[in-house]
Amino acid sequence: MGKKIFVACDTNSINEVKKIIINTRTRKLKIGYKFGLEFINSKNGRSFISKLKKKIIFADLKLNDIPNTCISTVKAIKDLKVNYLTVHISSGLEALRGVKKVSGKTKIVGVTTLTSFNNKNLKQIGYTRSVKSLVIQQAKLASKAKLDAVVCSPHEVPYVKKIFKKEIITPGIRLSGDKAKDQKRITTPKKAFKNGATSIVIGRSITKGNIKKNIQKLINSLN
Ligand code: C5P
């Protein structure tokens, strides 16, 4: 499977993305680029992605809708030929299976409970179970729907990997010393891989400040 780093290109600026791509170039890491709702919905974002060549592309659409809408969306972005596409596992088994059926070569990534949630925030939206028990349930569903990967917090990998045997991707990563900001369940890259993540998603710790220096810091931290 090979450890991968997905750099979250959370911006609406094409110049910013170009800057990220140029400055993250390295032979020492396998790097992919993650584009979320912000960039894909920006004026020229979609067309920029369609022109990227020989890059690992991760479309973080976090689909969360009825099966028909999820399936139609997967068909609608076929031309982008993305390598990874995210769907919330909470969309349900029927939606997950439906998406998997039409996804072709694109790997379908099931998103468990967002890393910005803790038990208290979960209660606020009416979920009475703990993050852990919810994530375990979601990992089982992802496995049942034969998804290609799941996204979970680095702290959840130890029990997710017992249930879900394919790729495990973890966001909520900070280079040591960086602030948590809005994330609740975070750790360092090294610890995430040690826990059993196969890839990590890292945004602000790389893209804010001097990108080249941050990449070097990441490489050093993994040694
Ligand atoms: O800047 P930071 O490293 O916190 O960015 C994390 C990225 O991972 C963001 O693009 C966010 O949308 C994404 N993500 C997350 N938690 C999830 C799924 C995706 O933080 N459960």
Distance 152 CA to ligand 1 centre (A): 10
* CA–CA separation, 215 and 68 (whole Å): 40
* CA–CA separation, 119 and 101 (whole Å): 34
Band (pLDDT 50/70/90 cuts) for residue 1 is low
pLDDT at 2 over 70: no
pLDDT average, residue stretch 145-159 = 95
* CA–CA separation, 159 and 9 (whole Å): 29
Q: How many CB atoms lie within 10 A of CB 222?
A: 15
Active site residue 101: no
Which of 10, 135, 168 maximizes ligand 1 atoms within 8 Å of its Cβ, making it the mutation to test the pocket?
10
Report the pLDDT value the prediction gives residue 182, as an integer from 0 to 100. Answer: 73
* CA–CA separation, 38 and 61 (whole Å): 10
The beta strands (E) that lie in the chain are given as 4-8, 31-36, 56-63, 84-88, 107-111, 149-151, 167-170, 199-202
Please return the burial class of 24, using the count of CB atoms within 10 Å of its CB with bins 0-12, 13-18 and 19+.
buried
Give residue-wise pLDDT tens across range 190-212. Answer: 999 999 999 999 999 999 999 99
pLDDT cut 90: percent of the chain above it? 89
Distance 22 CA to ligand 1 centre (A): 21
Structure pTM?
0.94
Distances in Å between the Cα of 72 and the Cα atoms of 50, 62, 93, 102, 152 are 19, 14, 16, 9, 25
> What residues does ligand 1 touch, defined as CB less than 6 Å away?
8, 10, 36, 111, 114-115, 151, 171-173, 183, 201-205
Give residue-wise pLDDT tens across range 27-78. Answer: 999 999 999 999 999 999 999 999 999 999 999 999 999 999 999 999 999 9
Q: Are 200 and 192 in contact (CB under 8 A)?
A: yes
Q: How many CB atoms lie within 10 A of CB 15?
A: 8
pLDDT average, residue stretch 18-22 = 98
Q: What mean pLDDT, rounded, does the chain reach?
A: 95
Residue tagged active-site, from 62, 140, 166, 190 = 62
- For residue 176, give both structure tokens: 């040591």
pLDDT at 120 over 70: yes
* CA–CA separation, 125 and 122 (whole Å): 5
Report the pLDDT value the prediction gives residue 29, as an integer from 0 to 100. Answer: 95
* CA–CA separation, 201 and 189 (whole Å): 9
The DSSP bridge pattern shows strands 4-8 and 199-202 to be parallel
Which of 12, 38, 182, 201 maximizes ligand 1 atoms within 8 Å of its Cβ, making it the mutation to test the pocket?
201
